[in-house]
């Protein structure tokens, strides 16, 4: 146990001997310059582009839903008409 504590103390003591590194004097200027350049770049109008695609997607979904609804009721109507015709045929056959 003492061996482990002594090893930890040695490691911590050796970390105190590490010299602090000094950044380049131009580093902060470079960072500031990059930030200023990013602020000056024109931003694309992505919101309008996204709204157009969202509207197109909703329109396609609405049209597909409407087409399915119409076809579903059309087939029900045809079934009703066919059953009425069958009933009329059986009535007229007698």
Buried b (16+ CB within 10 A) or exposed e, 27-59: eeeeeeeeeeeeeeeeeeeeeeeeeeeeeeeee
Averaged pLDDT score across all residues of the chain: 79
6-43 pLDDT, tens digit per residue, is 998 888 888 888 877 888 889 889 999 999 988 887 77
> Is 70 exceeded by the pLDDT of residue 86?
no
And the tokens for 3? 């061996």
What residue segments make up the domains of the chain, in order of their start? 62-94
Query: What is the C-alpha to C-alpha distance for residues 65 and 58, in angstroms, rounded to an integer?
Result: 10
Given this model, what pLDDT does residue 93 score?
47
Query: What is the C-alpha to C-alpha distance for residues 85 and 82, in angstroms, rounded to an integer?
Result: 5
What pTM value is reported for the model? 0.35
And the tokens for 32? 């500031």
């Amino acid at each position: 146990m003492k061996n482990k504590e002594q090893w930890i103390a040695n490691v911590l003591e050796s970390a105190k001997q590490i010299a602090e590194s000094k950044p380049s004097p131009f580093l902060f200027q470079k960072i500031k310059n990059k930030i200023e350049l990013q602020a000056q770049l024109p931003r694309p109008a992505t919101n309008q582009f996204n709204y157009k695609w969202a509207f197109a997607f909703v329109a396609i979904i609405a049209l597909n839903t409407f087409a399915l609804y119409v076809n579903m009721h059309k087939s029900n109507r045809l079934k009703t008409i066919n059953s009425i015709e069958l009933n009329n045929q059986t009535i007229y056959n007698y």
